[in-house]
Amino acid sequence: MIHSPLIKQCALLILTALPLCADIFSQGQKHIGITVGSGKGYSTTYTIVGVRANYFVLDNLSMGLAYRGWFGGNPSQHELSIPLTYHAPLHPVYRPYAGGFYRRTFIDAPYGDYDVYGFRVGISLHLSLNSYSSFGWVQEYYPHASGDGTSRGYPEISVGLSF
């Protein structure tokens, strides 16, 4: 058995750091994140840029507000979302999550604004004490649409900061 003081200090540091990582999803934490990507709609390819802010109302449960703009195409589109997400405390570094959201899309005439409901599932990975990355799947439902275009899904990848 090795009794080196350096090994004991490293072990102590690792053991004390694990609970600190769990605090990123604690009540009162605030997260901000950015979205950058592309999407296709109305026979146009758009550049999508967004920002979101979440507040943890309870441990592991966040509520937020998000904005995404679809730029470089016609018609112009802007989205406001209200997400609710639960991060399951199953592991101090890898945290599965599930949540739902409501989104209002504002779109130029002759098209009308519309609502979208959906859910997301995935896993968040702690990158540091104040940052994380999430990888998951988003499924959206369009109650205003008829026929085959009432639902769509896509992968989501995000990076966030906590403070």
- Extract long-range pairs of 41-46: CB within 8 Å, 24+ residues apart: 41/70, 41/73, 41/77, 42/73, 42/74, 42/75, 42/111, 44/72, 44/73, 44/74, 45/72, 45/73, 46/70, 46/71, 46/72, 46/73, 46/77
- The percentage of residues in the chain with a pLDDT greater than 70, rounded to a whole number, is 84
pLDDT tens across 48-74, in order? 999 999 999 999 999 999 999 999 988
pLDDT band at 145 (very low <50, low <70, confident <90, very high): confident
Just give the CATH number of 5-162: 2.40.160.20
- Which range is least confidently modeled, 52-61, 67-76, 80-89, 152-161? 152-161
Give the predicted TM-score (pTM) of the model: 0.76
